[in-house]
Amino acid sequence: MLIADLYIRVSTDEQANKGYSQRDQHERLERYCNQNQITIGQVIFEDHSAKNFNRPEWTKYINHIKKRSLKSNLVLFTKWDRFSRNAGDAYQMIKLLLGNNISPQSIEQPLDMSIPENKMMLAIYLAAPEVENDRRSLNTFYGMRRAQKEGRLMGTASYGYVNKCTEDGRKYVGLKEPEASNMLWAFNEIAKGKYSINQIRLKMNTMVQTLAVHHSTGQ
């Protein structure tokens, strides 16, 4: 009798940007099992990147496998990129699963591992998501470098400043009070050379707290 654990994974950015849905994956996997007379064991929901297998729910699942506490002989997922986006790690994990008599299988990209030629298809299915990740990282790197060359600040503005946007959509950094005045005071004190940076930091924290108390009491 075939007993399958269902692995349903989506990372936050994938769900937001690509429309992946845990519910949709679950429905497709359940339908596949019903059509093929496969008994469903565990259903594992994961909200984590597939760049490696350091994922909370997957780690728990592997621990159950190693303890021989599962009766399943299959782990099903919709596509191979739900399983992994790192070909090297994926091969090692497949070996571990098969060594524990559990076969990993994608219902939309099924492969008969007993056919040698299918290993070439497996390599493609596993490498494609990794290449996509690498390309995205490279594009991000070049985009950030270009922005820095143009004098644009990347990420959240530092203390004393705030991220703003013009009417035509151009982003820039503007001053934020009273934080900007606090930073100006701190730099002036550093320039005097009378106090250490840590002493100035503590004095500024005291000033900020005092202003906050006055503001809350209306003084």
Question: Could you read off the pLDDT of 97-117 as tens digits, one per residue?
Answer: 999 999 999 999 999 888 888
pLDDT at 78 over 70: yes
pLDDT at 19 over 60: no
Neighbours of 98 (CB within 10 A): 12
In degrees and rounded to multiples of 5, residue 51 shows phi and psi of -65, -25
Task: Give me the DSSP letters along 24-65.
Answer: HHHHHHHHHHHHTT-EEEEEEEE-S-SSSS--HHHHHHHHHH
Lowest mean pLDDT among 92-101, 165-174, 199-208: 165-174
Q: Is 36 exposed, middle or buried (0-12, 13-18, 19+ CB in 10 A)?
A: exposed
SS3 assignment, position 218: coil
| CATH 1.10.3720.10 correct for 3-134 | no
What residues have CB less than 8 Å from 171, skipping those under 6 apart?
152, 163, 164, 165
Q: Is 133 exposed, middle or buried (0-12, 13-18, 19+ CB in 10 A)?
A: middle
Q: What is the DSSP letter of 108?
A: S
pLDDT of residue 34: 96
pLDDT of residue 13: 62
Q: Where are the domains of the chain?
A: 3-134, 153-219
pLDDT of residue 175: 83
What is the C-alpha radius of gyration for the chain, rounded to an integer number of angstroms?
27
pLDDT in tens, 116-141: 888 888 888 888 767 776 676 677 66
What residues have CB less than 8 Å from 78, skipping those under 6 apart?
8, 25, 28, 29, 106, 107, 108
- What does the mean pLDDT of the chain come to? 83
- In the chain, what percentage of residues exceed pLDDT 70? 82
pLDDT of residue 110: 92
pLDDT at 153 over 80: no
pLDDT of residue 16: 43
Confidence of residue 214 (pLDDT cuts 50, 70, 90): low
- CA gap 27, 204 in Å, rounded: 57
Q: Which residues pair with 9 in a beta bridge?
A: 46
193-213 mean pLDDT = 82
